[in-house]
A and B are shown apart, each in its own frame.
Chain A
């Protein structure tokens, strides 16, 4: 047993081992942001559609499903962040004396700010959970509606109310912009770290990454902008 754990701790201690964990957890989070966005877009289908979706998530596996997902996502987020902070510290430490002049020839701006886009997204996640999940500092928890004769949480009204307040909408848009930036480097990067990229597939992964980042931004920003600027549902 301990021999296996020794090897695992050596794996985590190594540069490539940590990066592989960042890539795998990144893949989980990429899957999540896509599913989350598709679910949220049900708001455009109508009030009952998103409320039914919300009710389904809450009651899946007798209410256990949502907790399994939460624990899984929390684990992925914690590993992703702890490993990247540790890697970033090592990276800074590896070049203590800065160049008087250094030119980036091929790397994107997004790839240089991954730690900052990532930490801003972390701050956003905390805010987002307090806003719509814990519902702290608002009365969204009291929003109820009737669906197929059952009293359920009114997700639709909560989201409309949430994005009717400009500061929240603006912060959401900034966070989605940074998520888009983060994904534009992270998506194709994970295939390289997992040892999958080839000369033929790398350009495809890159383009797919840009498309995915753009899709996530467009889908999520559409909800915010529709409600905040165009008064959807109000």
Chain B
């Protein structure tokens, strides 16, 4: 096992106040530590010195909960492809490296403290249509609704989205299109989601705009940064579904848009 001596540039900020980068030396970091374990070691040393530890988000630490974030050296979740911060290991860095550690920056993701941002905007987008309405009662027989293998697989690909917000962080416009398109697309594709397709699409896009995310400029940085490799083809589908829903909304019988009652 070898050890790394690292120079960290960490964003420190309290909610509602201006933030700044703090230079923190991180010597003797074991190369088998994960990035979050490195942050734990740094924090323990800060606490031992009587200083304020760096606040960062984390939960499952196995790459599926979507809690960990951090812009590492200018890329969400760091330099490894299809890897969350918690699954990024320090052996991917060299001793002597300077590492920039910042929060996911977006107006719609206000900083709570240091590297922790409020991603509640994603929850509100989900509440505006990212669900299938089901009636309570006896469940339907599991295979009563045949779904093609290709469609089921595609829906599962979109369902891989863990809602971490790396797409927003990577986009120069802080656009949430990849998240919204994956969440709307997986349901719009399946027979269970089809009845509410138009209202879901309009409602989720409207909420996305209301939250203050930017607009997609088709640069596909989101896809490159996504730890679950969600394809930008879901954005193509959302654009198409939105156009169809908007035309029906303009010319057909008005659907009541979920979550858009104001």
Contacts and interface: CB of A to CB of B under 8 A. Distances in A.
Say if A and B assemble together. yes
Interface of A: 3-4, 7-8, 10-11, 13-20, 87, 90-91, 93-108, 111-112, 114, 185, 188-189, 192-199, 202
Given A20-B243, A95-B107, A99-B74, A196 B236 contact: yes
A192 B235 contact: yes
B220 A106 contact: yes
Contact of A100 (B9, B232, B249): B9
B225 A99 contact: no
Main secondary structure of the interface of B (DSSP, over half): mixed
Contacts of A93: 107, 212, 214
A195 B246 contact: no
Interface residues of B, number: 53
B236 A195 contact: yes
A96 B236 CA distance: 27
B174 A94 contact: yes
B237 interface: yes
A101 B73 contact: yes
Contact of B106 (A19, A95, A107, A194): A95
Contact of B206 (A14, A95, A188): A14
A93 B174 CA distance: 9
Nearest to B220: A106
Contacts of A198: 233, 236
A13 B240 CA distance: 17
Interface in B166-204: 170, 172-175
B56 interface: no
Contacts, number: 150
B205 A14 contact: yes
Nearest to B108: A94
Contacts of A91: 172-175, 214-215, 217
A94 B242 contact: no
B221 A94 contact: no
B233 A197 contact: yes
A191 to B, nearest CB: 8
B117 to A, nearest CB: 11
Given A91-B215, A99-B105, A112 B172 contact: yes
20 contacts: A15-B215, A15-B216, A16-B238, A17-B242, A20-B243, A90-B215, A91-B174, A99-B74, A100-B11, A106-B221, A106-B223, A193-B216, A193-B218, A194-B240, A195-B236, A195-B239, A196-B236, A197-B233, A199-B231, A199-B233
A106 B240 CA distance: 24
Contact of B219 (A4, A17, A106, A199): A106
A106, A108, A198: residue with the most chain B Cβ atoms closer than 10 Å:
A106
B1 interface: no
Nearest to A189: B218
9 residue pairs, one from A and one from B, having the closest CB atoms: A195-B240, A94-B214, A7-B250, A107-B219, A91-B173, A103-B74, A101-B74, A91-B214, A94-B174
B213 interface: yes
Contacts of A199: 231, 233
B73, B215, B219: residue with the most chain A Cβ atoms closer than 10 Å:
B215
